[in-house]
Amino acid sequence: MSMDVTFLGTGSAYPSPHRGASALVLRTEGECWLFDCGEGTQTQLMKSQLRAGRITKVFISHLHGDHLFGLPGLLCTVSLNTNCDPQQTLNCVDIYGPRGLRQFLRVTLGLTGSQLIFPYAVHELEPTTDQSPEEGQLSAEMTAEHGPPHPQEQPGRTISLDVSSDSYLLFEDKKFVVKAFRLFHRIPSFGFCVQEHDRPGRLKTELLKELGLKPGPLYGRLKAGDPVTLESGHVILPSEVLEEAIPGRKVCILGDCSSIVGEGPLMLCSGADLLVHEATLGNEQREKAVDHGHSTPEMAAAVARACCARRLVLYHFSQRYKPCSLQKEGDEDDVSELKRQAEDALQDSGIEVTLAEDFLTLPVPLKR
Amino acid sequence: MSMDVTFLGTGSAYPSPHRGASALVLRTEGECWLFDCGEGTQTQLMKSQLRAGRITKVFISHLHGDHLFGLPGLLCTVSLNTNCDPQQTLNCVDIYGPRGLRQFLRVTLGLTGSQLIFPYAVHELEPTTDQSPEEGQLSAEMTAEHGPPHPQEQPGRTISLDVSSDSYLLFEDKKFVVKAFRLFHRIPSFGFCVQEHDRPGRLKTELLKELGLKPGPLYGRLKAGDPVTLESGHVILPSEVLEEAIPGRKVCILGDCSSIVGEGPLMLCSGADLLVHEATLGNEQREKAVDHGHSTPEMAAAVARACCARRLVLYHFSQRYKPCSLQKEGDEDDVSELKRQAEDALQDSGIEVTLAEDFLTLPVPLKR
């Protein structure tokens, strides 16, 4: 199964002509999951090879405008571009994000008379009080749901921290389990871990032949995890004839943060194939970055090292950093310097560092 | 005084890489008034010659997302780019638009923890029930203001229709009077009339000399409208020595509509130097246009003719119409065809037709 990540916006604070506001898409078999949706994301999608109509799930890391203001418009445009077959029931778009997101969409879609032809549900993550300074926490009054639900709004879940695993279970299906974990920022922020299920190992065909089992449908049953009873009455268990399971891929995407909160982030991100971490400012501006709830390349590298990620992808750069393609000799604020800073911090770790740029697509290859 | 209009977005329904969502700026002496603010307007501003920090007033014609979704982000970015001098009190940004706009901003800015360094006030226009079908009218429950006001929100006015003039008086200052008028659309929509005050006529210098008054400060007093008493005791009234007043300029900008409502629009737009009117679809799709609350070039031309405008500017084109510069031979949906349709309908009227494109700037010259 193919799997890749495409960055639609890699700039911080606001969208600019050089860097869109935060948004990226994880694509598997044509289905797209959108992570964050800053203003202009729908236009960035149109410029990319992706199709907005394929978005089935949305994950919002935190409620700052540069990660959220594009969502109402995106939903409207996806709806306008969806072929409405009255015979067909359209799937619900599931939207995950911090408490307050439901009311945000209810009001923005409601007051603008926006009709969607598909239903949507907002599943809200309940932040803990240690995820931001007190002034960044939304009161119950602010997030209370007033006014009628939007006609296309379906009831969503409220997801609280599972203390035993220090994480939030968003959902699990046949292919993936997706969890969220806590970050520290000016307002509560989350990271997301997409974990593909392990695949069964190869069949030990030599052993199967010795056991008298010829290639055929029974091989498939064993591979699928079912025991097989031979005519002799002997039962073959899958564990006997399968090599070790092949680990599923893991992609972890962190929202804005100056640090992680609790044990959840490192546990969940352990061994990530792709760890996407913000690096708003260079190491030399660490104090300013932390003051604003952000990270430097060195700080991002420390997380990548702590969880033994395979590849660290930096994004969410201050708009002062132009894309490499527009960088001129002698320009200050060279974005490549951010990469060098992360690489310095990751020496001898074997962790590869990549700078995200708008429209960069990174494949996440299957493990073998 | 220089005066011009710049189109930042001329597309309908949603922003695309070819046409931004609705937004235009009226600029006079460096001060910018923004009319509508679809998603991506702030990025379009960055690509233009205009400066976002110069925006002092915002006018929203109606609450559809393609005219509104860019406003919260625009305000945030203007704030980020405003130099905060603690000694200086920043002026309040006045925002005019239909009832519901105040709650829209309160929720979008509030839930996203957006801080503005300047105050803002939303002045809401109270629509009448004949401005849209019943299903397009917002209930009191929807527009009720819940939650605390945003820390930078100042009390705004509620402006009801002045029945005698069939218009809404938004404000009047030394240079301009700005009024709104009613349009019919799927949801209540408004047009705006910016009327510059008339300038005093030229001084009749020959006559003044005959009266024994030599050029000097007294000329200025007469021009400013003050009577002057000569040493002889004779009083010269300005009306005696001034030629006819020179009419101020008038720019009228209509929001989405399939028709006007009442007498206000034609009275206010009478003789407009620039009449900006939507033309979402071509004449051949009139029925579809009207069904969706929109106009064709012929319909826009009829309004321009009825109010004897000098120049009709068409905008808000369906995204199927590419800008002229991207049009290829043989392409369907040639936007120039919309211009021809309006010109056909305006034959012998002397009214000039202009197609708006993103970043087009039209000067509005002083009358002499």
Residue A132: exposure state from Cβ atoms within 10 A (0-12, 13-18, ≥19): buried
Contact by Cβ (8 Å): B255, B62: yes
User: How far is CA B364 from each of CA A56, A99, A326, B147, B265, rounded to the nearest angstrom?
Assistant: 48, 49, 37, 43, 20
A173 is catalytic: no
Q: Å from A171 to nearest chain B CA?
A: 25
A89-105 pLDDT, tens digit per residue, is: 789 999 999 999 999 99
Q: Write down the catalytic residue from A66, A94, A273, A358.
A: A66
Q: Are strands A250-254 and A189-196 parallel, antiparallel or unpaired?
A: antiparallel
Q: Kindly give the confidence (pLDDT) of every residue in chain A, 368 residues in length, as a single tens digit, with 9 standing for 90 and above.
A: 899 999 999 999 999 999 999 999 999 987 899 999 999 999 999 999 999 999 999 999 999 999 999 999 999 999 998 876 766 778 999 999 999 999 999 999 999 999 999 999 999 999 999 999 999 999 999 999 988 899 999 999 999 999 999 999 999 999 999 999 999 999 999 999 999 999 999 999 899 888 888 888 989 999 888 999 988 888 999 999 999 999 999 999 999 999 999 999 999 999 999 999 999 999 999 999 999 999 999 999 999 999 999 999 999 999 999 998 898 888 889 999 999 999 999 999 999 999 999 999 999 999 88
Q: B189: which strand partners? A: B183
H/E segment holding residue A191: strand A189-196
A147-170 pLDDT, tens digit per residue, is: 889 999 999 999 999 999 999 999
Is A115 touching B (CB cutoff 8 A)? no
Long-range contacts of A333-339 (CB under 8 A, 24+ apart): A337/A282, A338/A279, A338/A282, A338/A297, A338/A314, A339/A297, A339/A314
Smallest Cβ–Cβ distance between B68 and the set A15, A43, A112 belongs to A112
Is B43 touching A (CB cutoff 8 A)? yes
Angle of helix B335-345 relative to helix B297-306, nearest 10 degrees, comes to 40
Residue B310: exposure state from Cβ atoms within 10 A (0-12, 13-18, ≥19): middle
The closest alpha carbon to A24, from A314, A350, A311, belongs to A314
Q: What is the ipTM of this complex?
A: 0.95
Which two structure tokens, joined as six digits, stand for A243? 């090599």
Q: Which residues of B touch A101 (CB under 8 A)?
A: 111
Q: How far apart are CA A122 and CA A96, in angstroms?
A: 6
Determine phi and psi for B49, rounding to 5 degrees.
-85, 0
A26-37 pLDDT, tens digit per residue, is: 999 878 999 999
Q: What is the pTM of this model?
A: 0.95
Q: Å from B77 to nearest chain A CA?
A: 7
Q: How far apart are CA B336 and CA B323, in angstroms?
A: 9
User: How far is CA A314 from each of CA A327, A346, B354, rounded to the nearest angstrom?
Assistant: 17, 13, 46
**Domains, in order of start, for chain A:** 3-198+246-363 (3.60.15.10), 205-241 (no CATH)
* Three-state secondary-structure class, residue A153: strand
Is B72 touching A (CB cutoff 8 A)? yes
H runs (alpha helix) in B57-123: 65-68, 71-80, 101-111
Single-letter amino acid, residue B78: V
Q: B352: which strand partners? A: B311
Which two structure tokens, joined as six digits, stand for B349? 């009227």
Contact B113 A42 (CB under 8 A): no
Q: Write down the catalytic residue from B66, B256, B273, B358.
A: B66
B319-337 pLDDT, tens digit per residue, is: 999 998 898 888 889 999 9
